[in-house]
Every structure is written in structure tokens, then in C-alpha cells.
Amino acid sequence: MQIRVIGAPMDLGADRRGVDIGPSAIRYANLSDHLQHIGHTVRDYGNITIPQPESCPVGNPHLKYLEPIVHAAEELAHLVTTTLQAQEFPLILGGDHSIALGSISGVARVHPNVGVIWVDAHGDFNTDVTTPSGNIHGMVLAALAGVGDTRLTHIDGRGCKLRKDTIVIVGARDLDIGEQALLREHEIHVFTMSDIDQIGISEVMRRAIAIASQHDNPIHMSLDMDALDPREAPGVGTPVRGGLSYREAHLAMEMVAASQHLISMDVVEVNAILDRENATARLAVELILSALGKRIW
């Protein structure tokens, strides 16, 4: 596979600083070398340019830093689209989860039937009406589904980027009250950690892949490192106890790889300031490798 690595050092969509260093931390964990070792060709595009919060006005407190986030999403969407048109696999490194607005919009231009597996402790399905924080990283999946402020839902002139019946959230364990109501209203498939406890990660991922890839859809994987338990991934901005174990996360990635539907991936919320000896970035690299074909045997 020809892989194009794109860094999106976004630090505007969340409250806690440090995720803008995420792309560098993941690269420092020898991402390219490891990908080449398992047979891929890698081209690193570098980072898109994103302003620091200190240089931008917050703006609407219910949609913090809206304008620079939308601008970055439009630039990233263009890069992802051209990557796919060049028959390359876009691997986008965050940054906070608001970058998925750009990465998935770019995929949807080329593959309008794309399904999404959203591996995350959070639903990211708030709007400016339901948000308790005003942080856009908690609204991006709703925006991609066409729900929320039109400046987020229409970043490239089109509304809904995803069919709601092909969106799957895996690993949720911290959902806001208003967000829960929206997820139910729009019939988004949600597998919580309770579901994983009861039926196991293997069955959850079997169902998730079937939902996202129905009608032979391609799949975009959006991996938020806070889906893992903080004992495994300490360097995230919004840690929540009781997350995926090391092996559960690897099996999830391995099953997506085995489905042969994966066409793009973003990895987000690695916070190097909060990390310990780059452990979370190193784990992110391991999980990327599993999603892109590395096997135990």
C-alpha cells in the first residue's frame, strides 16, 4: 500500500493544550519505519498549518475557534481528496478530534458511501445547543452527519457527509445528556464499554464492521486514543477510566484490517505534554500497524 501521512496539529477544538504536538510524537515513535517494515511505501506530507489558540479569538463560546477550525478542515479535506485520487491511503495524525471534520469530508468527496467506525470514549455528537463546553471536538461527528451549525455541516458546500445508518461508535463511556438524546433521535449505532463487557470486543467489532461496510461500503477508521483505558494511554486530554484494554484495541484494529474495507484512517488526541515517555504515541503507532495489516502470525 502507498500511504500518505498528513499531520494536523490542531489544538483549537479542546480545552487542554498539548495535542498539537501529537503528530510529532507519533512520528518520533518511528511510524514511517514501522510501516515500511511491514511492506508499505510511505510518503510524509508534513503538517498543515494551524494557528495557535493564543493568536485567535475564541469567538462564540458555544462554538469556540469556529473559523480557524473550519479553515483547517477545508484544507485537510482537499489534501485527503487528492490523496485518494492519487490511489494513496491517507493516514491523518492529530491533533484533537475536530480534524475528522476535514479528513472524513475529504474521503466523502471521493467515496460518498463511506462508513465510519468511530472508536472513542465520547460520542462527539453534540451541537452548539447541547454542548456543555463549546469545544468543537465534541461536535464533529454530529456535523459530519449533517446535525448542528451550518458552518460546520457545510464546510465544502455540501451538507450531510455520512449516512447515519453507516456510522458506528465503539467504546463509548462518557456521553453528555443532550448528546445521548441526539444519538437516539438520529439512530446512530453506539457500542458502549458495557456492550463490550457483555458480548466481547470480537462480537462488537464484527457487528460494527458489518454496519459500516453494508452494501460493500469502504470504511474510514477514526481512532481517538482516549478510547483506551488511561492505564494504557495516559497521554490524552480527556481520559475516562474503564476503557479498552491493550489487546481489545489491537483486536479491534486487526479485525478492521482483515475486513479489507479500510480506505483511510485518522488517529487523534495524543497529548504529549500529559504522556509518560511517549507511551501513548508508541501505542498509537502499534494500533496503526494492526489496522494496516500487521499480524501476530
DSSP states along 184-219: HHTT-EEEEHHHHHHHHHHHHHHHHHHHHTGGG--E
The stretches of the chain forming alpha helices (DSSP H) are 22-28, 31-37, 66-85, 100-110, 140-144, 150-153, 177-185, 193-212, 246-259, 279-291
CA atoms of 45 and 127, how far apart (whole Å): 32
Can you tell me the mean pLDDT for 232-250?
97
pLDDT at 15 > cutoff 90: no
Q: Which residues span the domain enclosing 215?
A: 2-291
3-state secondary structure of 94: strand
Give every strand in the sheet of 167-172, ordered side by side.
41-47, 2-8, 89-94, 262-268, 219-224, 115-119, 167-172, 189-192
SS3 content of the chain, % helix, strand, coil (to 5): 45, 15, 40
Residue 296 lies in a domain: no
Residue 296 confidence (pLDDT): 87
CA atoms of 41 and 33, how far apart (whole Å): 10
Can you tell me the mean pLDDT for 173-181?
97
pLDDT at 106 > cutoff 90: yes
Confidence of residue 215 (pLDDT cuts 50, 70, 90): confident
Confidence of residue 16 (pLDDT cuts 50, 70, 90): confident
The string of pLDDT tens digits covering residues 272-295 is 999 999 999 999 999 999 999 999
Q: How far is C-alpha 237 from the geometric centre of its chain's CA atoms?
A: 14
- How many separate domains does the chain show? 1
Residue 156 confidence (pLDDT): 81
Instruction: Please list the active-site residues.
Output: 97, 120, 122, 124, 137, 224, 226, 269
Q: Which of 12-16, 145-149, 210-214 has the lowest mean pLDDT?
A: 12-16
The DSSP output letter for 297 is: -
Residue 202 lies in a domain: yes
Residue 124 lies in a domain: yes
Residue 220 confidence (pLDDT): 98
Can you tell me the mean pLDDT for 19-47?
98
Residue 6 lies in a domain: yes
Confidence of residue 297 (pLDDT cuts 50, 70, 90): confident
Residue 91 lies in a domain: yes
**Residues paired with residue 169 on neighbouring β-strands, in sequence order:** 118, 190
3-state secondary structure of 108: helix
Tell me the torsion sign for CA atoms 188, 191, 194, 199: positive
CA atoms of 178 and 175, how far apart (whole Å): 8
Confidence of residue 171 (pLDDT cuts 50, 70, 90): very high
168 class by beta-carbon count within 10 Å (0-12 exposed, 13-18 middle, 19+ buried): buried
Residue 21 confidence (pLDDT): 96
Residue 74 confidence (pLDDT): 97
pLDDT at 236 > cutoff 90: yes
**What angle do helix axes 279-291 and 246-259 make, rounded to 10 degrees?**
30
**Residue count (the chain):** 297
pLDDT at 98 > cutoff 90: yes
Residue 234 confidence (pLDDT): 97
Backbone phi, psi, residue 265, to 5°: -160, 140
Can you tell me the mean pLDDT for 18-36?
97
Q: For residue 203, give the amino acid letter.
A: E
Question: CATH no. for residue 111?
Answer: 3.40.800.10
Confidence of residue 157 (pLDDT cuts 50, 70, 90): confident
Give the mean pLDDT of the chain: 97
Residue 95 lies in a domain: yes
Percent of the chain with pLDDT over 90: 96
Residue 18 lies in a domain: yes
pTM for the whole structure: 0.97
Please answer whether residues 12 and 50 qualify as being in contact, where contact means their C-beta atoms are separated by less than 8 angstroms: yes
Can you tell me the mean pLDDT for 66-86?
98
Can you tell me the mean pLDDT for 40-59?
95
CA atoms of 9 and 11, how far apart (whole Å): 6
